Amino acid sequence: MSQNLTANRPTFVTHLECSMTGERYEADRLHGLSRVGRPLLVRYDLAAAGAALSRDALMARPTDLWRWRELLPVRHTRDVVSLGEIETPLVPIPNSGGGGHVLVKDEGRLPTGSFKARGLVMAVAMARELGVTRIAMPTNGNAGAALAAYASRVGIETIVFCPEDTPEVNVREIAMQGARVWRVNGLIDDCGAIVGKGAAEGRWFDFSTLKEPYRIEGKKTMGLELAAQLGWELPDAIFYPTGGGTGLIGMWKAFDELEALGWIGSKRPRMYAVQASGCAPIVRAFEAGEEHAERWEDAETVAAGIRVPRAVGDFLILRAVRASGGKALGVGDPAILKAVDDCARRDGLLLCPEGGATLAAYREALRTGEVDAEERVVLFNCATGLKYPMPPAPRTLDRHAPIDFDSL
């Protein structure tokens, strides 16, 4: 265990706050959504956190997620759970990046192979701290896998519901990591309705995206980490594959907290929320100038992680995108698959389809002049490409027959 897990560093949480109305909620109590049905945000005494932790002291720690302990909600060191949440690398893609100054933050290196580990490690640690014994969740795959892994590790029972066409590997991974997993004939929000019903009956705690307050805090570490990795100078633009939007909302919050600490200035990246054009509720709302996004009917895309027809944090995503001067962008499945293929063949980096969506959107943004090739841009590859179907490689060789070496 790294030293910063065992050191006792208290949290600086003061309270929670409704993201819509600003109403205050007490810390150290179990909360779901606010009274008006919107996400709760965790607030800290940042002056005290800044007095307890300097940038230099932070940089002297091991680089994993728990180095940010003072800016995270877990109160007791004994409640921290870990499977090795490393700092993920920023990988240049000089050949497939369209000639731009672009880096891929490769989140596929995290435990359970996706950035869902960041959110769920925090949410599970807090569930443990607050005495939760049974959790249910709707998932397109990766969140369920991360929940199963961390919850099993600390002895919390989990029941997971996924759309019936969720990739086989994800369903099996969830089962293998100790959850009871059910395939449901519907989409993720249909699964969410089942979770909500059981929660209302007191059967379990509802771990749907943004329906508990701590996943955002875990996902926020992407923004904290990025700032530290880039020498406290944020990039010009971030392309984020947006489903529930937890990561985009979390990073935006992280930047404000870092500025309040005096660790970064007021410069912000333009935030681009990338969606698949077969499921683009945020893009539609952005373009229509709406504050909320209506449900997207008949959602369909190869990028299952962003096949989210309705997001409870829609207004938070839209606000951050607009405040940053960014946009919400839709890309088609053919462009997504082409981007994945190019990046693997030409740069040796196997993206997941959702990561491919960010590359496709970035290349399109370069083409239209939305982004300048000189600008420093970060794309999020949110899961390992190894979890997704790959094109067949059918060539065989008979070692007993004469081999035409020129043709190999």
Ligand X SMILES: *Cc1c(COP(=O)(O)O)cnc(C)c1O
Contact mark string toward ligand X, 161..200, x via CB under 6 A: ----------------------------------------
The CA distance from 240 to 406, in Å, is 44
Nearer to ligand X, 50 or 305 (CB): 305
Local structure of 140: helix, strand or coil: coil
Nearer to ligand X, 27 or 344 (CB): 344
Q: Residue 242 Cβ, how far from ligand X at the closest point, in Å?
A: 5
**How many chain residues bind ligand X (CB under 6 A)?**
18
Q: Which of 216, 306, 360, 366 binds ligand X (CB under 6 A)?
A: 306
Q: Tell me which residue has tokens 């698959």.
A: 337
Listed ranges 13-21, 51-59, 237-245, 363-371: which one lies at the site for ligand X (CB under 6 A): 237-245
Report the residue count for the chain.
408
Listed ranges 42-50, 150-158, 242-250, 260-268: which one lies at the site for ligand X (CB under 6 A): 242-250
Listed ranges 168-176, 196-204, 244-252, 293-301: which one lies at the site for ligand X (CB under 6 A): 244-252
Sheet containing 180-184: give its strands across.
Answer: 180-184, 157-163, 134-138, 205-206
The CA distance from 195 to 94, in Å, is 44
Asked if 352 interacts with ligand X (CB under 6 A), we say yes
| 172 neighbors 144 (Cβ within 8 angstroms) | no
Pairing state between β 157-163 and 90-92? unpaired
CB atoms within 10 A of CB 391: 9
Helices of type H across 266-390: 281-288, 314-324, 333-347, 353-368
Asked if 209 interacts with ligand X (CB under 6 A), we say yes
Question: Which helix (H) or strand (E) segment is 182 a member of?
Answer: strand 180-184
| 237 neighbors 293 (Cβ within 8 angstroms) | no
Angstrom distances, CA of residue 239 to CA of 114, 316, 388: 17, 16, 21
Nearer to ligand X, 49 or 210 (CB): 210
Listed ranges 235-243, 259-267, 389-397, 399-407: which one lies at the site for ligand X (CB under 6 A): 235-243
Asked if 111 interacts with ligand X (CB under 6 A), we say no
Q: Which of 246, 275, 301, 324 binds ligand X (CB under 6 A)?
A: 246
Residue nearest to ligand X (CB): 305
The CA distance from 186 to 89, in Å, is 36
Local structure of 350: helix, strand or coil: coil
Q: Which of 96, 112, 177, 242 binds ligand X (CB under 6 A)?
A: 242
Nearer to ligand X, 46 or 216 (CB): 216
Asked if 281 interacts with ligand X (CB under 6 A), we say no
Secondary-structure percent of the chain, ordered helix, strand, coil, rounded to 5: 40, 15, 40
Q: Residue 383 Cβ, how far from ligand X at the closest point, in Å?
A: 4
* First-to-final CA distance of the chain: 48
Listed ranges 61-69, 239-247, 341-349, 370-378: which one lies at the site for ligand X (CB under 6 A): 239-247
Asked if 208 interacts with ligand X (CB under 6 A), we say no
Contact mark string toward ligand X, 120..159, x via CB under 6 A: ----------------------xx----------------
Closest CA to 16 of 51, 45, 42: 42
| 172 neighbors 162 (Cβ within 8 angstroms) | no
Closest CA to 98 of 283, 374, 321, 337: 374
Pairing state between β 157-163 and 237-241? unpaired
Q: Which of 112, 114, 166, 301 binds ligand X (CB under 6 A)?
A: 114
Q: Which of 105, 116, 118, 268 binds ligand X (CB under 6 A)?
A: 116
Listed ranges 59-67, 120-128, 243-251, 397-405: which one lies at the site for ligand X (CB under 6 A): 243-251
The CA distance from 90 to 47, in Å, is 30
Nearer to ligand X, 306 or 320 (CB): 306
Helices of type H across 246-308: 246-261, 281-288
Name the residues that contact ligand X, by CB under 6 A: 114, 116, 142-143, 209, 241-247, 305-306, 352, 354, 382-383
